[in-house]
Structures are given as structure tokens and as C-alpha cells.
Amino acid sequence: MLQMKSVRVECSSPYEVVICDGLLTEVVGAFPAGKEGSTAYVLTDENVAPLYLDSLETGLRRSFRDVKAVVIASGEEHKTLDTVGHILGELARLGATRSDTLFCLGGGVVTDTGGLAAALYMRGIDVVNVPTTILAAADAAVGGKNGVDLPTGKNLVGTFKQPKRVICDVSAFTTLDNMNISNGIAEIIKCGIIADQELFELLERNTSDTLDFADIITRSVKIKADFIRKDEFDNGERAKLNFGHTVGHAIEKLSGYKTPHGFAVAIGMALLCQNSRVTRLLQRYELPVATEFTSEQIVNAAMNDKKKDGDSINVIFPSENIGECRVKRVTFAKFQREVESGLVYVRDCKT
Ligand SMILES: NC(=O)c1ccc[n+]([C@@H]2O[C@H](COP(=O)([O-])OP(=O)(O)OC[C@H]3O[C@@H](n4cnc5c(N)ncnc54)[C@H](O)[C@@H]3O)[C@@H](O)[C@H]2O)c1
């Protein structure tokens, strides 16, 4: 009997997110085979391939006729249409058909580019996500949003395509460096702030060395699944998952994508919360709360963000109680005042 947790995502095509510890080959092997005689294509990046490609392929060989791999360069700078074009070209060159399945093994860059390629290839083939970063397991691999960046901004091109399944082996996190551990925990802290006070307090009582990752990933995925059930196509409630992201995406862009996604979101959350408990928690997990960029630079960068509409923008504000938040439409001028006051708050906090 395999030891694993599972969360069901109820949406237009429901699926399971399976969370296990050290059992990737067995769990993947037990996955009901793809369509008869079909091939599994594994998309992964150059860092993840030497670590986990063999284990995944071994499991997949138990249920697929053949297994073939496509390896891309790692890093946000490769989350582009060029990379998606390359993946599509490789799938065609290797002979992928509509009955085949694409397994995305890696972080959010692999699941975002792979999800988009799977949505486009022959008008859509099945995709299974196998996240290997905390960030992808808690967030990017679940929910069906995929996308790539344009020079004007992040995630400006993408589709909704739900995976057939998500398989997360938390033992993969043991090879993450400290930066990528903190980066992923930022999205989990976000879940606590917007929807789960207990999760927030659990993070307060632990450090990254004592966290039970299978447990906190399961909790975060349940929160995300709940938003997806209410608003799969992001027309309202799901926007709350973007807490910290308007400022975060602006900072990523201003830094030329040198600031990792979770770090940028952490700064966005600190500026909008202006709450010492949140600031302390972010710092406990070695996340930044301040930025060198001015409120004017941040708001100008955010004006190109996809969520803008005229002279106002939807911003998610935390409520006074941890575990609740609300979406508010504000003008860019008001948004800039909020960011400015956040910048003053975190500067004073630091001294
Ligand atoms: N689609 C969504 O809903 C959604 C949600 C949140 C974030 N995202 C996107 O996710 C991306 C960030 O994801 P990420 O932080 O996973 O980045 P990433 O995919 O770039 O991975 C970070 C680094 O870790 C390496 N890596 C991955 N797994 C590893 C492992 N187990 N051991 C050692 N190294 C490993 C990768 O090669 C890479 O160098 C951003 O582009 C963001 O926009 C998407």
C-alpha cells in the first residue's frame, strides 16, 4: 500500500494531486497507463534531468509503450514563446501523437512552458505535472494556468489547460538550494495570509528544517483547489491567489527577472500587509521584505500588467485577521500611495 496524500481538484475536468515522499517511481508506475500503446514524453530542464529523469522514466516504462525526453535550459529567461516553439518542434520530431501524454518534470518554468505546449500541440494532448520545486508543487503545477513571458511583462501569453494528474514527490525538495526553498515557502505563506490562519501559525512554529513538506503542500493545494472549484477561469474569487503578485510581477520585471518569483511576491505581501507578524514570518524564511525600486517604478511596471483596466487596477488586500483577504478596485494613484506607505513601513521595520 503506497503511503500518499491526495487532493481532488473539482473543475471542468477533475483530477487528483498526489503527494508522496520518496515514492516517485512507484506512484508513477501505478498511474493507469496512457491510452493503449501510447508514449510518455517527459519535459524537464537541464538541472532536473540528471537528478530525477531516470526515476520518472523507470516508473513510466511500467505503463507506457515508450518514454522519450525533451530537455530545456533552466531559468525564467527561458519561459518564452521560443522555448514553447522548441518543445513543439521536438514533440513533432520525436513523433508525438494526440494519444500521447506530456509529463512536465521540474519547477514552474517547466510546468508553465510544458502546459502551454501541451495545450497547443495538435490542438491539445494530455499533460501530467510532476513538480520538483516547492513553488511548483504548492502553486504552479496545480490549477491549469500556464503561460510564458513577453518583453512587456510576465505570463502575457497562456491558456487554461488542467493537467490529468499532478504527482508530487516531496523528497525532490532535498536537492533544492536555500534560495529555492525560501522561494517556494513564499507562496505557502501567501496561502496562510489569504485563507488559512492555522497554516500561517504552523509556519510560525517551524523553520524550513522542521517543516513537514508533505503536510504543508497538501494544505496549500487544498486552498488552491478550493479557489479553483469556485472560479476555475479566474473571473473573480481566484484573483485572491494573486495576493502580492501585482507588486511581485512588477519587481520581477524591473529586476530583469533576476529577483525570483517567490522573493518578489514576498516583497509585494510585506508592502501591502504592513503587519509585523507577516514581516517577521517572511524574514524567518529568509525572504526579502524591502526593495530598491521606488513606488513610481513599481506602479509604472504594474501598469503593463494584464490585470489593469483603464486607470484602475484590482488589488488584493489582506484583512486585519490573518486568513482573510478582499479584492478591491483602486486607481493607480491610490495603489501608488499604498505601495509608498508599504515602502516606508518596511524601511522603518528594518531599522
Ligand atoms: N501557472 C501558475 O499557476 C503559476 C503559479 C505560480 C508561479 N508560476 C511560475 O512558476 C515559475 C517559478 O517556478 P520555480 O520557482 O519552480 O522556478 P524554476 O522552474 O525556474 O525552478 C527553479 C530552479 O530550480 C531548479 N530545480 C527544480 N527542481 C529542482 C530540484 N528538485 N532540485 C534542484 N534544483 C531544482 C530548476 O532547474 C531552476 O534552476 C515562475 O515563472 C512563475 O511565474 C506559475
Among 60-64, 133-137, 319-323, which range has the highest average pLDDT? 133-137
- Tell me, what's the pLDDT at 213? 97
Whose Cα sits closest to atom 2 in ligand 1? 140
**Which tens digit of pLDDT belongs to each residue from 142-187?**
999 999 999 888 899 999 999 999 999 999 999 999 999 999 999 9
3-state helix, strand, coil in the chain (%, to 5): 50, 20, 30
- Tell me, what's the pLDDT at 94? 98
pTM of the predicted protein model: 0.95
- Tell me, what's the pLDDT at 152? 84
Q: What is the arithmetic mean of pLDDT over 264-273?
A: 98
- Tell me, what's the pLDDT at 298? 96
- Residue 251 CA to residue 271 CA, distance in Å, equals 12
Q: What is the arithmetic mean of pLDDT over 56-68?
A: 94
Nearest of 191, 213, 337, 339 to residue 270 by alpha carbon: 339
Q: How many residues does the chain have?
A: 351
**Which tens digit of pLDDT belongs to each residue from 70-101?**
999 999 999 999 999 999 999 999 999 999 99
- Tell me, what's the pLDDT at 153? 81
- Tell me, what's the pLDDT at 23? 87
Would you say the CB of residue 51 lies under 6 angstroms from ligand 1? yes
**33-47, 277-291, 295-309, 318-332: segment of lowest average pLDDT:** 295-309
Would you say the CB of residue 252 lies under 6 angstroms from ligand 1? no
Would you say the CB of residue 132 lies under 6 angstroms from ligand 1? yes
Q: Quick check: 239 pLDDT over 90? A: yes
- Tell me, what's the pLDDT at 97? 97
* pLDDT band, very low/low/confident/very high, at 27 (cuts 50, 70, 90): confident
- Tell me, what's the pLDDT at 47? 98
Would you say the CB of residue 261 lies under 6 angstroms from ligand 1? yes
Q: Quick check: 351 pLDDT over 80? A: no
Q: Which among 9, 52, 81, 109 is the best mutation to test ligand 1's pocket, defined by most ligand atoms within 8 Å of the CB?
A: 109
Q: Which among 127, 180, 251 is the best mutation to test ligand 1's pocket, defined by most ligand atoms within 8 Å of the CB?
A: 180
Q: In the CATH scheme, what is the code of domain 179-350?
A: 1.20.1090.10
CB 13 within 8 A of CB 162: yes
Q: Which residue shows C-alpha cell 483577504?
A: 325
Whose Cα sits closest to atom 37 in ligand 1? 47
Q: What is the arithmetic mean of pLDDT over 334-343?
A: 96
Answer CATH for 4-176 from 2.40.30.10, 3.40.50.300, 3.40.50.1970, 2.120.10.30: 3.40.50.1970
Same fold: 4-176 with 179-350: no
- What CA–CA distances, in Å, run from 338 to 151, 191, 275, 289, 309? 27, 22, 13, 15, 18
- Residue 245 CA to residue 230 CA, distance in Å, equals 20
Helices (H), the chain: 24-30, 49-61, 81-94, 108-120, 134-135, 178-195, 197-205, 213-230, 245-254, 261-273, 276-284, 295-302, 332-350
What are the two backbone dihedrals, phi and then psi, of residue 260, each rounded to the nearest 5 degrees? -65, 155
- Tell me, what's the pLDDT at 12? 96
Would you say the CB of residue 264 lies under 6 angstroms from ligand 1? no
* pLDDT band, very low/low/confident/very high, at 303 (cuts 50, 70, 90): confident
Name residue 230's amino acid: K
**Which tens digit of pLDDT belongs to each residue from 202-232?**
999 999 999 999 999 999 999 999 999 999 9
Instruction: Report which ligand 1 atom has the smallest distance to the Cα of 260.
Output: 15
Query: Which residues partner with 290 through β-bridges?
Result: none
- Tell me, what's the pLDDT at 174? 97
Would you say the CB of residue 49 lies under 6 angstroms from ligand 1? no
Beta strands 66-72; 39-45: pairing state: parallel
Q: Domain ranges in the chain?
A: 4-176, 179-350
Instruction: Report which ligand 1 atom has the smallest distance to the Cα of 134.
Output: 16
* pLDDT band, very low/low/confident/very high, at 307 (cuts 50, 70, 90): low
**Which tens digit of pLDDT belongs to each residue from 31-41?**
776 777 899 99
End-to-end CA, the chain: 54
